Amino acid sequence: MISEEISEWFYQYNKDLYHFLFYYVGSGDIDDLVQEVFIRAIKGFDTYQSKSSVKTWLFSIARHVGIDEIRKRKRNRLRLVLGFTDNEAYEEKTPEEVLRLNENIRNLYEAIHSLKSNYRDVIILRAIKDLSVSETADILDWNENKVRITYHRALKVLKEKKEEIQYERK
């Protein structure tokens, strides 16, 4: 019964959800994101209340899938800015690679802790804890524009400090 209903919803709304997610997150594998929407719908089927339409409920799920995807991309972008590759976290490593990865992590940790407190706070909240601009602004009691500007400047300084630390160790 549930699978028939979800299948019907899929055929009815998958194109709408595809277009929504495409515009929401931009390029990428949107088909996977649409599948994720329906996986979450299956998992949350018991929580669906007929107070809203099925379409509204699915678009709400799609919005959250999109937010999660954007956050994931931000984390990956930060890793690239700081000189890490995606492979470093997932592949099996030789002892030399593990040592190099541990050194990179130590360099990053040192670089973060060498930042002035405003920069360190915004890096930890935005990049590491993955909080939104408004959440970060609330926590730091700043306006959102200050969070954006400070975060941008902090990333620039962090990259420079990380490179300095790597240079000093060579």
> Along the 170 residues of the chain, how does pLDDT read in single tens digits?
677 888 899 999 999 999 989 888 887 789 999 999 999 988 888 777 676 788 888 998 998 998 888 888 877 766 666 665 544 444 555 667 666 667 777 777 788 888 898 998 898 888 877 788 888 898 889 999 999 999 999 999 988 888 777 667 66
Q: Of 76, 107, 122, which one is at a domain's C-terminal end?
A: 76
Q: Are residues 69 and 107 both part of a single domain?
A: no
Q: Are residues 9 and 56 in the same domain?
A: yes
Last residue of a domain, one of 29, 44, 76: 76
- Residues 17 and 56 sit within 8 Å (Cβ to Cβ): no
Contact present, 21 and 62 (Cβ < 8 Å): yes
9 shares a domain with 71: yes
- As for how many domains the chain has, the answer is 2
Burial grade of 48 (CB within 10 A; 0-12, 13-18, 19 or more): middle
Domain span including residue 151: 87-169
Q: What is the pTM of this model?
A: 0.53
Which of 41, 76, 111 delimits the end of a domain? 76
**50 lies in a domain?**
yes
Whether residues 130 and 70 fall in one domain: no
Distance of CA 92 to the CA centre of its chain: 24
Which pLDDT belongs to residue 5? 83
